[in-house]
Chains A and B, each alone.
Chain A
């Protein structure tokens, strides 16, 4: 009868023929973007207040400690002691950053958009975790580098310099241990709720409420119990590994023969957090 009313014209649309950046590129982009988010880079001034406040305090403390070390070499201020001192600030930093990284995405419902890219379901939590761990490591490691530089420029001979290098290496490793544990726990808690406020409260609550448990267990009338007490809070757990590897800062912390157990529990804790995160993100996108 009548011919087809419409004609499909070729108006010159072209298929994309360039290179397709695959999974690895998406992963890297997500990681870099998350790392920038952690410090509020590329965000409004309001988003920078809290991370930069923590950064400022940590760097200030680092510089002051470095100055103390050059004047009083035997003050007992080591790189690992610096990390221990910053524990509460790290908790606060994680409580600020972890909800920023994952809770916003949950609340805005953008996860289906991420997963419609060539990004595997498991890549998202890995990228976020790596970004948060890197951010915490930078927070603890960068001031140590500053401390190291200040110390390195005030040494008298090369052997002192190499001692300094030998000190800062374990310090950076210790910071990495903190970063892994705190990032794992923080991100896991933050991934449970889309509200940043409650995620932050939950993270702080977990770290705060486990600390007195250690206090109580360390006065129990059993030596084994006292030596195991540090296991029961994330921050004291890492501290226990530090005591085993680098010795106790003031000689009062006795973990007995349980050093390897502390390390095993730390690794188990991080692995458990990663596994739970993966389990969480296996089904989260439907919501």
Chain B
């Protein structure tokens, strides 16, 4: 009963605010660009990279996971209502796991549907399903990462942006060693291996992608549970 209640509170906290509307334009843009490119008859080789990878997997997925993932716990920490949950006699995993599930579900629904449509328009239903599944894995890993971040630091969104922009965006393209520690590359690899179309270029092997995704997801969830055990409520940072 308690996990459902926490999940319910979390979902209401996410959808009950105006900022939820921020989640809508990004996926619509992916679909819109795919339809536009398809409508003008551009070859998929030309537009699949910017739309599916450049926008879909590299921007929409991490940014939405960032907004949602830091929102499920971070906003409660911000306005102090986390105290009401923390003072209940609950094991901490019963707080973290429902929130993680809600964050993953919301991110997946928002991202995977648009990726599926764009994938179908680009190549085939198989590519669409591959992208949607990769979106699910990515949502889980990113959500766990950003959820843990909102407990580790007072500025989770900025730190998450540093990870997405600098680590994945800049370094991931130039320094090949950082790819092994980049969620974006795992997601790309999983999508590519499910639907080997040649439109996506994966740069790490599938076992690495799967194992590292699992390590990221489990590791950061355990870290979040552990951090919540010794969490101290403080005022806003300067």
Contacts and interface: CB of A to CB of B under 8 A. Distances in A.
A187 interface: no
The main secondary structure of chain B at its interface with chain A is helix
B151 to A, nearest CB: 14
A43 B169 CA distance: 30
B47 A219 contact: yes
Which of B25, B63, B156 has its CB near the most chain A CB atoms (within 10 A)? Answer: B63
Interface residues of B, number: 40
B42 A193 contact: no
Contact of A221 (B19, B40, B165, B170): B40
B41 A221 contact: yes
Interface string B159-190: 00110011001100000000000000000000
Contacts of B75: 195
Contacts of B29: 209, 213
A208 B154 CA distance: 24
A212 interface: yes
Given A46-B237, A209-B55, A219-B42, A202 B161 contact: no
B19 A219 contact: no
25 contacts: A47-B237, A47-B238, A50-B155, A88-B169, A92-B161, A92-B162, A92-B166, A95-B158, A95-B161, A193-B19, A195-B19, A195-B78, A200-B157, A201-B67, A204-B165, A205-B59, A208-B59, A209-B63, A212-B33, A212-B51, A212-B54, A212-B55, A219-B46, A221-B40, A221-B41
Interface of B: 19, 22, 25-26, 29, 33, 36-37, 40-42, 46-47, 49-51, 54-55, 59-60, 63, 66-67, 70, 74-75, 78, 154-158, 161-162, 165-166, 169-170, 237-238
- In order of increasing CB-CB distance, the 10 nearest A-B pairs are A215-B50, A212-B55, A197-B157, A219-B46, A212-B54, A208-B59, A212-B50, A44-B238, A216-B33, A205-B63
